[in-house]
Structure 1
Amino acid sequence: MRCLLLFDIDGTLISSQGKAFAALLKAFRQVVGAEPPVEGFSPAGKTDPQIVSELLNRVATDHRKRNQLVAEVLAAYLETLPEVVKKPHVRLLPGVAELLPVLAENPQVALGLLTGNIREGAQFKLELAGLWHYFAFGAFGSDCSDRNQLLPYAWERAHQRFGVRFSPERTVIVGDTPADVACAKTWDAKAIAVAGHTFTAARLLPAHPDGVLPSLSPELFLPVCFSILSRAPLA
């Protein structure tokens, strides 16, 4: 295998049309007993634990119990997800249905996830979308609340799965927010940003991705991705 492609989920592969965030807010209400203060708040690019922690910062809670509350909210979230998010709510974003089979059939490509979703939430969403089987491994918000620290988890799991140590130059993170790009740049990996669903290209470019695309159409993604990788050493 010559390259590792790691995909974000929400806003990159799928949209739940706000239903997954609604499920998290419902769980927050149940556990914390307060209305989530979401005015001016965006979950884009954040890990699930980070989202809950930041919402807790906006309400009067005992900081000594913060980790416990985050864990309780996320456990409740996994229970509310099937109640709130149904199959018709989850739609594939443009190009995804065509791109993933092509990548999965390429023996030079290892496909994985790098997402702020906790693992069980990621699996639930992608199973509804019919995409979970494409990804043999991943790094998740349940591994670390800091998105910038997730890539080493993905590298280690890729090594366990394929017996390959992928270099930063042969690793591409694909996401829809500046946070996805920042994660890649933290480790000198490559980044492709997908504009349109969450951020415009103009808002993504200052993060300095290696490529910006309007969709994951194979006709757009494959030339850009492999052009980026062609400039990297094989070793």
Structure 2
Amino acid sequence: MSAPLRLVLFDVDGTLVDSQGAIISAMTACFQAQSLSVPSRDAILSIVGLSLPHAMARLAADQTDRVQDALVDGYKQAYHAQRLELGAASSPLYPDARQVIEVLHAMPEVLLGVATGKSQRGLDALLEAHELEQYFVTRQVADHHPSKPHPSMIETALAETGVDAAQAAMVGDTSFDMDMAKAAQVAGIGVSWGYHDRSALKAARHVIETFEQLPGALAKIWG
């Protein structure tokens, strides 16, 4: 009897790539452009994973909608400029990320996907820069969904791939990822190297310390 079809979804920022330098730089630029105090590093990293309007609503809660919209636009411009200047170096892959993706991709019953707070343009550019386009059969982005932790991204990925929720897992570094997984009734696998402290990953089924531990965590979930 063949194994059931399975799906592994990855968050991007703080999970696949270390983009904190690019994120903090772009946030600094957009707040300074509005003559506002720049949020602390910890405050900025705490909102990674949310779609930009939700992130700015938290970081600039005392500002008007107009100012928050200007911050969103300024962030997009600054981040895009960095990506054009630095390419893949602006968001390097974490150690062993590519190798583990290749291992999972080689398993005939396993499909890979992405569920990210990035825009479609941002995700496509990042995958192209790292030559990862061929690995992900479903790509869910902030343009088309409510912000995490709403389960829409995962539910759409399941529908697109035909995989049952019990045979899916969400890999991410934030409480938003793990809460989204729980809401969609899929297993959450937290990673310790990202932008939320391990203590925030309460909804995770497992927490891994290195990418190399991911296949083993998936094996425990699926038996």
Contact kept in structure 2, 1:168 and 1:187, CA below 8 Å: yes
- The number of residue pairs the alignment matches comes to 217
Moved more, 17-26 or 168-177: 17-26
Distance (whole Å) between structure 1 residues aligned to residue 183 and residue 196 of structure 2 = 20
Equivalent runs, 1:97-108 vs 2, <5 Å: 97-108=98-109
Residue identity opposite 1:226 in structure 2: A
Contact kept in structure 1, 2:30 and 2:74, CA below 8 Å: yes
Distance (whole Å) between structure 1 residues aligned to residue 78 and residue 90 of structure 2 = 17
- Do residues 188 (structure 1) and 185 (structure 2) align? yes
Which segments of structure 1 move beyond 6 Å, counting only runs of 4 or more? Answer: none
Which secondary structure state, in structure 2, belongs to the residue aligned with residue 35 of structure 1? coil
Which secondary structure state, in structure 2, belongs to the residue aligned with residue 107 of structure 1? coil
Which secondary structure state, in structure 2, belongs to the residue aligned with residue 86 of structure 1? helix
- Superposition RMSD on alpha carbons, in Å? 2.7
Which secondary structure state, in structure 1, belongs to the residue aligned with residue 43 of structure 2? coil
- Encode CA deviations 1:55-91: one digit per residue, 9 max, x unaligned: 3324x33x3x478546634553564343564333332
Distance (whole Å) between structure 2 residues aligned to residue 195 and residue 178 of structure 1 = 12
Name the structure 1 match of 2:17.
14
Contact kept in structure 1, 2:127 and 2:133, CA below 8 Å: yes
Seq. identity, %: 20
Name the structure 1 match of 2:165.
168
Name the structure 2 match of 1:41.
43
Relative to structure 1, is the Cα distance of residues 4 and 82 closer, same or farther in structure 2, using a 3 angstrom cutoff?
same
Name the structure 2 match of 1:57.
61
The structural deviation recorded for 1:204 is 4.3
Residue identity opposite 1:210 in structure 2: R
Relative to structure 1, is the Cα distance of residues 75 and 93 closer, same or farther in structure 2, using a 3 angstrom cutoff?
closer
Name the structure 1 match of 2:152.
152
Residue among 188, 211, 220 paired with 2:206: 211
Relative to structure 1, is the Cα distance of residues 199 and 28 closer, same or farther in structure 2, using a 3 angstrom cutoff?
closer
- Encode CA deviations 1:191-226: one digit per residue, 9 max, x unaligned: 01111343454x145x13111110111xx2212212
5+ residue gaps, structure 2:
none
Contact kept in structure 1, 2:82 and 2:90, CA below 8 Å: no
Relative to structure 1, is the Cα distance of residues 109 and 75 closer, same or farther in structure 2, using a 3 angstrom cutoff?
same
The structural deviation recorded for 1:141 is 2.2
